[in-house]
C-alpha cells in the first residue's frame, strides 16, 4: 500500500525539481494513477503486481499512464505506460496493479435467522474490503430500519440490500378476518394468508370454512377486504 503522504511527497519533490534519480518509476506510476482517476487514498490500497518497463529510475523524462478500462479502476488493473524524453518515447510497457477498495459498512455481529426483525444491536459499523461487491453495501442502519432478514445470515457478513426485505403486514400462513361488505350487508369469515401481504395490496386467502381460495385486499395485519 502506498500512503497519501508518500504519493504527495513524490509529487512535491518532482515539482521542486529535486534530483530525479531519487524517484522510482513505480512510485511515479502510482502517483499519476491516483491523480488521474481521483482515487481517495483513505479508501483505496494499491499493490504492484508486474512491471514490464526497463526503466526503473526517473530521469529528466515525462510519464503517460492509461488504464485499459472504462469502469472504476478496482481489482486487477492493467496500465499502458509510456516514458518520454525530449518528445520521444524511450520506453513503454504494461503495468499490473491490484487496487483494493475499502468502506465502513454494516456487518452482522452474530447469526441472524430468516425473517427476524432487524435492530441496531444486530450490527456493527466496520471497515471492510468491498472490491468485489457488485452492489452498494448498507452503510447505515437507517437504510434498513423496519426491515427483516430475507434469509439466514452468518456472523461477520456485510449487509446488502438483497439480504433484507420489508416486514409484511400479514405473514404467509397468518390468520385473518375476511370481510365482505356490499353496502347492504357485511359478512366476516376466518382465513389464512397464502403468502406475505402489505396494506393496500391484493393477496390470496384460503377460507377456513369453505376451503376456497379468494383474492382480497389487505386492510391491516388482521383483516382483508373482498372487493366487489
pLDDT tens for residues 170-207? 999 999 999 998 878 888 999 999 999 999 999 999 99
C-alpha cell at 25: 518509476
Domain with CATH 3.10.129 in the chain: 4-101
| Separation between Cα atoms, residue 219 and residue 179, nearest integer Å | 10
Q: Quick one: fold of 175-226?
A: SH3 type barrels. (2.30.30)
Q: Read off the pLDDT of residues 136-154 as tens digits, 9 standing for 90 and up.
A: 999 999 999 999 999 999 9
CATH class of this structure's domain 4-101: alpha beta
User: pLDDT per position in the chain (228 positions), as tens?
Assistant: 444 434 444 444 444 333 444 568 888 888 889 988 899 999 999 998 989 888 877 666 688 888 887 788 999 999 999 888 888 888 999 999 999 999 999 999 999 999 999 999 999 999 999 999 989 999 999 999 999 999 999 999 999 999 999 999 999 999 999 999 887 888 899 999 999 999 999 999 999 989 999 999 999 989 999 987
pLDDT value of position 22:
53
pLDDT value of position 184:
84
Q: Hunting for cell 521542486 — which residue is that?
A: 16
In three-state secondary structure terms, 120 is: helix
CATH class of this structure's domain 102-166: alpha beta
Task: For residue 21, give every residue at least 6 positions away whose Cβ sits within 8 Å of its Cβ, in sequence order, or none.
Answer: 57, 58, 59
pLDDT value of position 176:
94
In three-state secondary structure terms, 168 is: coil
| Separation between Cα atoms, residue 55 and residue 102, nearest integer Å | 32
Domain with CATH 2.30.30.760 in the chain: 175-226
Domain with CATH 3.90.1210.10 in the chain: 102-166
Angle 173-179-185 (CA atoms, 0-180°, nearest 5)? 160
Amino acid at each position: 500500500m502506498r500512503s497519501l503522504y508518500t504519493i504527495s511527497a513524490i509529487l512535491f519533490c518532482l515539482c521542486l525539481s529535486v534530483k530525479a534519480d531519487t524517484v522510482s518509476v513505480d512510485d511515479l506510476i502510482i502517483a499519476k494513477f491516483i491523480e488521474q482517476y481521483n482515487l481517495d487514498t483513505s479508501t483505496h490500497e494499491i499493490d504492484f503486481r508486474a512491471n514490464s518497463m526497463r526503466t526503473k529510475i526517473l530521469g529528466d523524462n515525462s510519464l503517460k499512464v492509461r488504464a485499459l478500462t472504462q469502469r472504476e479502476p478496482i481489482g486487477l488493473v492493467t496500465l499502458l505506460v509510456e516514458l518520454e524524453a525530449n518528445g520521444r518515447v524511450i520506453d513503454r510497457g504494461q503495468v499490473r496493479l491490484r487496487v483494493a477498495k475499502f468502506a465502513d459498512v454494516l456487518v452482522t455481529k452474530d447469526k441472524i435467522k430468516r425473517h427476524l426483525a432487524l435492530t441496531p444491536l444486530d450490527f456493527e459499523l466496520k471497515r471492510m474490503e468491498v472490491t468485489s461487491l457488485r452492489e452498494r453495501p448498507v452503510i447505515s442502519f437507517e437504510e434498513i430500519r423496519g426491515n427483516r432478514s430475507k434469509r439466514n445470515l452468518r456472523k461477520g457478513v456485510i449487509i446488502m440490500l438483497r439480504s433484507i426485505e420489508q416486514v409484511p403486514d400479514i405473514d404467509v400462513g397468518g390468520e385473518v378476518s375476511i370481510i365482505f361488505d356490499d353496502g347492504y350487508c357485511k359478512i366476516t369469515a376466518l382465513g389464512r394468508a397464502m403468502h406475505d401481504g402489505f396494506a393496500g395490496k391484493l393477496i390470496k386467502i384460503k377460507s377456513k370454512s369453505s376451503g376456497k381460495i379468494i383474492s382480497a385486499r389487505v386492510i391491516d395485519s388482521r383483516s382483508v377486504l373482498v372487493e366487489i
